[in-house]
Amino acid sequence: MHAPAQFRIDDNSELVAFMEARHFATLVVSGEGGPVAAHIPMILKRDAAGTPVSLEGHVARNNPLALAVGAGAAALAIFTGPDAYVTPSLYPSKREHGKVVPTWNYMAVHVTGAIATFDDAHALHQQVSQMTDTMEQPTAVPWQVTDAPDDYVAMMLTAIVGVRVSIASIEGIAKLSQNRPEGDRAGVLNSFTHSHDHAARQLAAEMTKKVL
């Protein structure tokens, strides 16, 4: 990840919280025929000490990503947050000297590591159960895997392959106009705060916490 110092997220707990707040990732694998990507929910696994050690998810058995995973394959999981276009018209410095250009504010976390697949029915059942319980938490009446007939669940498990990324690195970026003068940052914050774009308003909240 290219993340200049002023944009980099260095707090590991913040990186982990970012991933667990989103769950959904773009998983990219370097296969023999080139990169292959899948968009899947992923859950974070920790060791006994609470340290994040892996990301897990699953794909359809015939998904090209599953077929691309070989011995020693490397993967990149990308978790994206809110993003929004920044027009130079928001900068007071535009009126002062005109030496400004458009940009884009955004947040993202990248996880890299070795990837492996697994299709053990017990391990898959544990994974989908944990994932379901996690995703259903905000639901008024949470659905559970055990709500479905056992034979149906068993059949569905045969149609998927588990993927596990052993975490080698976690990097994050929060590009929130930190590189702009105070007046320019204030102009962006004001515009994003009152924007009709939900993502822009989310970025405004992050700017309030991190920048101003």
Structure tokens at 61: 């058995």
Domain layout of the chain by residue ranges: 8-204
Q: What pLDDT does 152 receive?
A: 97
| Alpha carbon distance 101, 29 (integer Å) | 34
Note the helical H segments in 53-159. Answer: 64-68, 92-96, 121-136, 150-157
Q: What pLDDT does 211 receive?
A: 52
| Cα 145–Cα 148–Cα 151 angle in degrees, nearest 5 | 105
Q: What pLDDT does 52 receive?
A: 94
Helix, strand or coil for residue 197? coil
Read off the amino acid at residue 178. Answer: Q
Looking at the domain covering 8-204, what would its CATH class be?
A: mainly beta
| Alpha carbon distance 77, 197 (integer Å) | 26
If we measure between CA atoms, which residue out of 131, 83, 90, 74 comes closest to residue 104?
83
Read off the amino acid at residue 203. Answer: L
If we measure between CA atoms, which residue out of 112, 105, 73 comes closest to residue 91?
105
The pairing of beta strand 160-175 with beta strand 8-9 = antiparallel
Note the helical H segments in 33-105. Answer: 64-68, 92-96
Read off the amino acid at residue 23. Answer: H
The tens-digit pLDDT sequence of the chain (212 residues) is 999 999 999 999 999 999 999 999 999 998 777 899 999 999 999 999 999 999 999 999 999 999 888 777 899 999 999 999 999 999 999 888 988 899 999 999 999 999 999 999 999 999 999 999 999 999 999 999 999 999 999 999 999 999 999 999 999 999 999 999 999 999 999 999 999 999 999 999 999 987 54
pTM for the full predicted model? 0.92
Q: What pLDDT does 212 receive?
A: 46
